Amino acid sequence: MNPFRVLDLFSGCGGISWGFKKAGFHILAGVDQDKEALETFALNMPEARTLNHDLSGQGVTELVSSLGLARGELDVLVGGPPCQGFSKNVTRSGRHLDDPKNLLVQSFMDAVEAFSPKIVLMENVATMANAFGGAFRDELLHRFSECGYEVRYGTHNAAEHGVPQRRKRVVFLASRVGLPEPLAPKTRLSLRCGTHKTRDTPAGAISVWDAIGDLGRIDPAAGIDESNQYSHKPFSAFQNQMRSAGNTEITDHTLRPLRSKQQARYDALEPGQGLRDLPLELQTKGGYSGAYGRLTQTMIAPTITRWCFHPGSGRFGHPVERRLLTIREAARLQGFSDDFQFSGSNHKKSWQIGNAVPPLLAGAFAKQIAAVLAGSTVSTAQKGLVARQDDPFLPSPKSPIVASTPREG
């Protein structure tokens, strides 16, 4: 364990904190307004405080008082503040730091100013970085600069960092003590590489079956299997990693019965197929392109959303059995190790998983941050590195950014 302390704002169930905890950090507190998610956070981070707290208005000031931290004392502040102003359906005028839809991002920056942590990690939807000319991003970078931070940001596909899921997010890393080298991907993915259409997973990436294939069979025709024992030995490095805590029992690997017509749709589909492949009598009037989609064994999973409990909301069908993914399988695809326990109803657990930052991605950043805090890494910005002029992710000249990672291809 290292001595570095982490405060997690908008923590949800604790995806970022779990990644940092596995990397040896001490989790000081998780702050959120979702009671069920905080129950899960508390279950897995018993050493931390769990604060059901509204960070809008005077919330940050109240939080500072509650935690009793002196300014500059905190090592790492992390979080993924909700940012409704980046929906594709929002007009350009709704994509600024002072827009009411984005006030929680403003609250996060207020916390940065109030706590003045050594390092800040903020995760958000990928569209934050470049939407509408990057006006919001530039405002954000300027605010970091005013608080005395050097900043690096970039989009990261979780599948390129050991997570068996395509999930693109932007990560802002700000520091008062030096920045680590840009986080290098373990593997590179092309646009369609590892999808259900190509069915090929490149070396270094984790396929669906490498992620969940060791979990026991659940036959819908046989009813709900309440067994909590592993039924197969792990056969991939990822499966071993998920079992690394030494636990011998598996939780949340139970079948959620579907309505008869929902089950009939899965019964009619083969791996890789979806809504458009259903016979006419089972078609729906509308739906997502991936609705009722079944995964394949060799693909990388698409983004696991909070609606993964509903077959009509995405490609959440098992690649071998004609059923929906279990909570544990969805958690595996999000990169939660098997010793992470969930609290709440099936729906709430799905929301917690889908809203979380993949712990393995958070953990990759955590290891770099630990090295900086320990004084073992020299900031590339301090070496005089500036963003490449041909970088498509380069902000406008007025931005105070000092270093940048390129956009993924």
**Residue 114 — φ and ψ, nearest 5°?**
-70, -45
181 domain-assigned? yes
Give pTM, 2 decimals: 0.86
Looking up tokens 């998780």, which residue turns up?
A: 30
CA atoms 98, 101, 103, 105: torsion sign? negative
148 within some domain: yes
Query: What backbone phi and psi angles, to 5 degrees, belong to 139?
Result: -60, -40
State how many domains the chain has: 1
Structure tokens at 106: 């403003």
Name the 3-class secondary structure at 400.
coil
Range of the domain at 165: 5-187+358-373
Of 60, 172, 174, 176, nearest to 122 (Cα)? 172
Nearest to 317 by CA among 360, 258, 249, 231: 258
H or E element in which residue 288 lies = none
Cβ proximity of 402 and 386 under 8 Å = yes
pLDDT of residue 149: 97
* pLDDT tens, position by position, 300-353: 999 999 999 999 999 999 999 999 999 999 999 999 999 999 999 999 999 999
165 backbone dihedrals φ, ψ, rounded to 5°: -155, 135
Question: Residue 142 sits in a domain of what CATH number?
Answer: 3.40.50.150
DSSP state at residue 312:
G
Cα–Cα distance measured from residue 239 to residue 233, given in angstroms and rounded to the nearest whole number? 9
Residue 129 has what pLDDT?
81
Structure tokens given for 142: 């300027």
Residue 399 near residue 142 (C-beta atoms within 8 A): yes
The DSSP letter of residue 358 is: P
Active site residues: 83
Which residue intervals of 203-315 are DSSP H helices? 208-212, 237-242, 260-268
151, 138 Cβ separation under 8 angstroms = no
Where the chain has pLDDT below 70, the residues are: 83-101, 132, 190-194, 198-200, 220-227, 245, 376-409
Tell me whether strands 49-52 and 26-32 are parallel, antiparallel or unpaired. Answer: parallel
> 332 in helix, strand or coil?
helix
Domain assignment present for residue 46? The answer is yes
* SS3 call for 78: strand
Please state, in angstroms and as integers, the Cα–Cα distance from residue 25 to each residue in 16, 155, 361, 373, following that order.
Answer: 11, 24, 15, 11
Alpha-carbon Rg for the chain, nearest whole angstrom, is 21
Residue 305 lies in a domain: no
Q: Confirm whether 144 is domain-assigned.
A: yes
Q: What's residue 382's pLDDT?
A: 41
pLDDT of residue 116: 97
